[in-house]
Structure 1
Amino acid sequence: ALKLFRTAVTAADPYECVKQHLIFHNNNQLNNDKAELHIGSNHIILNHNLYVAAFGKAAIGI
């Protein structure tokens, strides 16, 4: 029962959720000094600064 509880708490943890779904790559040679942000199956080539804001009850955990 304790293992099931810990698994459920980890699955609902906003930090872990974001960590699993956001991947940052700094591929200097591949993209002409441009970084990439992968969000699930989508990717964004970053040409400029990226600012992220979080709101709501889960924002502190993120």
Structure 2
Amino acid sequence: MISSYKNYEWYLENDFSKYSGKWLAIIDKKVVGVNKDVEKLVYEVKDKYPKRRPLISKVRSKLSIL
């Protein structure tokens, strides 16, 4: 099992632009769910992985510059 930090680090290092404007669920450095509706995504992922805690994040449609 990969830590939440490692999943977050993996999320930051990869290009998810093909999911622009959608919510992602990540477990063990894998995208396990994608949906425009975060509530539906949470329900789907909890149903498939009841004992796991996914990283859930929305992919922005534009690049953020800090």
Give the TM-score, by structure 1 length: 0.29
**Relative contact order (C-alpha < 8 Å, sep 6+): which is higher?**
2
Structure number with greater Rg is 1
